[in-house]
Amino acid sequence: MEQEYVRQVAVVMASLELLPAQPSDLTGVLRDPDQFHALVDTNADFYESELVGYLRENLDQARVENWHKQIDRLIAAEIAVPILAADVPNAPVYPERLARCWDAPPVLFSTASVEIEGPSVAIIGSRAGTAEVIADTHALAADLAATGVTVISGLAAGVDTAAHEGALAANGRTIAVFGTGITRIFPEQNADLADRIRQTGALVSQFAPYAPRTRTSFLRRNHVIAGLSDVSIIMAGQARSGSRHEIEQAMGYGRSVMMWEPALSDQKWARRLADNGEATFFSDAHDVRHMLDRHDH
């Protein structure tokens, strides 16, 4: 990877530490070629953005150098590569679906390309799903992955694990989105699963490489899961849950949401979403493929 690109990523990471508001504010800077150039080029002498001016004035070059070394080590150890939300020649490409989201993160760290060819679905649900829901999730993910659908989930225990395992069992592609830095596997018992996903799919994080989990990091992780997916599927979940938060994000992005009828038809919140036309119940992979076909047309 070119050192100039690594330096640009280092500037972005140091800028994230200075941001007065949301990370997506920095994404806006990166998407504008002139603003991006003004941020990363120390010789640039003109920038209209107040945010770029603020960052330029306050960036600590020692912090930039520190990030440069961290990212160099990450790449050299083949742990992950950084993907900026900027159009940089000969650099890893930011995933198109996520780029269309209003709050897309400015940088991702990934073990492989996150470009998704063909349809993609998020499959999410409770960490304490029943044995029946876990088995149904595994079968659904395998069925979809076998037909070329990329399965995206969050590596959590329960439904997430079953979704990844099902996709792998069908020799399909699956992407695990972390609620921690890319160097930290959570839960730890999924370290072997993460290794297997790395072989044929991708592990992805929007957080600094060594960042721990926090009270809100898994909720922010849900934005990326929803953003990478054409359709979000919830297999099980309560009215107040991370899974419910993910589908709210998906709806906010204008993506389709499907709810596993055998487990959710008796949930008031799920029936209300269906009655309002915001989400649909489904009971087999055929229903999902039909929804994906509608997205293609």
d(Cα 164, Cα 123) in Å, to the nearest integer? 9
Query: Terminus-to-terminus CA distance in the chain, angstroms?
Result: 38
Q: Residues 68-114: pLDDT tens digits?
A: 999 999 999 999 999 999 999 999 999 999 999 999 999 999 999 99
Query: What count of other Cβ atoms lies within 10 Å of the Cβ of residue 207?
Result: 24
Band of pLDDT at residue 241, cut at 50, 70 and 90: low
d(Cα 251, Cα 227) in Å, to the nearest integer? 10
d(Cα 126, Cα 128) in Å, to the nearest integer? 5
Query: What count of other Cβ atoms lies within 10 Å of the Cβ of residue 226?
Result: 27
Determine whether 294 is exposed, middle or buried from the number of CB atoms within 10 Å of its CB (0-12, 13-18, 19+).
Answer: exposed
DSSP 232-256: EEE-S--SSSHHHHHHHHHHHTT-E
Q: What pLDDT does 21 receive?
A: 84
Stretch 130-147: mean pLDDT, rounded? 96
Q: Return the structure tokens found at 272.
A: 């209300």
Residue 151, H or E segment: strand 150-153
User: 16 near 106, Cβ under 8 Å?
Assistant: yes
Q: What pLDDT does 4 receive?
A: 95
d(Cα 175, Cα 228) in Å, to the nearest integer? 9
Q: Mean pLDDT score of the chain, rounded to an integer?
A: 93
Band of pLDDT at residue 242, cut at 50, 70 and 90: low
Dihedral over alpha carbons 193, 198, 200, 206 (to 10 degrees): 110
Q: Return the structure tokens found at 14.
A: 């140091």
Q: Residues 150-166: pLDDT tens digits?
A: 999 999 999 999 999 99
User: Hunting for tokens 């890893």 — which residue is that?
Assistant: 92
d(Cα 92, Cα 84) in Å, to the nearest integer? 8
Q: Give residue limits of the domains in the chain.
A: 3-92, 120-296
Q: Residues 26-66: pLDDT tens digits?
A: 999 999 999 999 999 877 776 678 999 999 999 999 999 99
Residue 293, H or E segment: helix 285-296
**CATH number of 120-296: 3.40.50.450, 3.20.20.70, 3.40.640.10, 3.40.718.10?**
3.40.50.450
Please report how the helices 131-146 and 159-169 are oriented relative to each other, as an axis angle in degrees rounded to 10.
Answer: 40
Q: Which residues contact 44 (CB under 8 A, 6 or more apart)?
A: 37, 38
User: Hunting for tokens 């906010």 — which residue is that?
Assistant: 252
Band of pLDDT at residue 129, cut at 50, 70 and 90: confident
Helix, coil or strand: residue 109 = strand
